[in-house]
Structures are given as C-alpha cells and as structure tokens.
Structure 1
Amino acid sequence: MLDDSRDPQFVPDIAWFKSSYSGANTTECVEIAVARDDVLIRDSKRKDSALVAVRADAWAGFIASLRQVSSG
C-alpha cells in the first residue's frame, strides 16, 4: 500500500532545481527536490508525470559514487 505521507502532492512548497550540468538549451534533463527524508526526481519536460522518490541517504551515496568516478 502506498504511504500517502510520502506522496509529493502532500508536501507543500517543493523547490525543484536542475542539475548544474544542464544548459539552458538542454532537452535531456532531470530536476530534483528534497522532500522530508526523500529526494524526488522528475523529467523537466514532463513536470506533471511520474516521479521517482529515493531515500536521502541513498541519494547521498549515489552522488558520492559519481564524484568518486569523476575524480578518477
């Protein structure tokens, strides 16, 4: 059963932002927002479509692994 308390529609004033790697004319982009204990991810072109929600600690681990790979 879906926990409605984690539904982004129940979180007021979510601030979405694009990746720093996204340019003004980029068509392939995601936006993220922090909502309670989760990080929400959506397609910037389809803002009303489905979201992906991941736990904030899982997101932090994902970002740390990207930084490790990029620093080589």
Structure 2
Amino acid sequence: MTSNPADQKDTDLGWIKSSYSTSDGPSCVEVATILGTILIRDSKNPDGPRLTLAPTTWTAFLPYATAPRR
C-alpha cells in the first residue's frame, strides 16, 4: 500500500463514493480503479493524498469494511 498525493485531476477515473457516505456525513470515501490498481481518497479532499492498493489487498480488506457494526 502506498499513499500518494494526486498528481493530476482524477475526474476521468470514475470515482465511486461509498454507499455509507452521505452529503452531510463525516466519512466520505471514494474508490476508483486504474490499470489493475485500486485508488482510495477522501471525497472532501479530492486533490489530497490517496491510497494505492493492489487488487488482492483490496479484496482481503473488503470483509472488514462490509462487516456489520456492533
């Protein structure tokens, strides 16, 4: 995993906002894919840093992100 600042505008990447995010909520995560890489960013700061994950790392993470809250 790496954390990189956005070097360019990523509007053409087709960012997808988390279904748990709302326009008035504090947690707004967006995900995009490019060349076998998963990109994750804070939608409130689209020009800020983003995480870059391998697809296998993203797949391993998803069960934790989708687990029911207790």
Same fold by TM-score greater than 0.5: yes
Query: Deviations for 1:23-66, whole angstroms, at most 9, x for unmatched residues?
Result: 22113211111111111011111100111100011101110344
**In the alignment, is residue 13 of structure 1 matched against residue 23 of structure 2?**
no
What stretches of structure 1 of length at least 5 have no aligned partner?
1-6
> Do structure 1's residue 63 and structure 2's residue 57 form an aligned pair?
no
SS in 2 for 1:57: helix
Q: Is the Cα–Cα contact under 8 Å of residues 8 and 35 in structure 1 kept in the other structure? A: no
What do you get for the CA RMSD once the two structures are aligned? 2.8
Percentage of matched positions with identical amino acids:
34
Structure number with bigger Rg: 1
* Structure that is richer in helix per residue: 1
Within-5 A mapping of 1:1-72: 9=8, 13-67=12-66, 69-70=67-68
Q: Return the alpha-carbon distance in structure 1 between the equivalents of residues 11 and 33 of structure 2.
A: 11
Q: Which has the higher contact order (CA 8 A, sep 6+)?
A: 2
Q: Give the number of aligned pairs.
A: 64
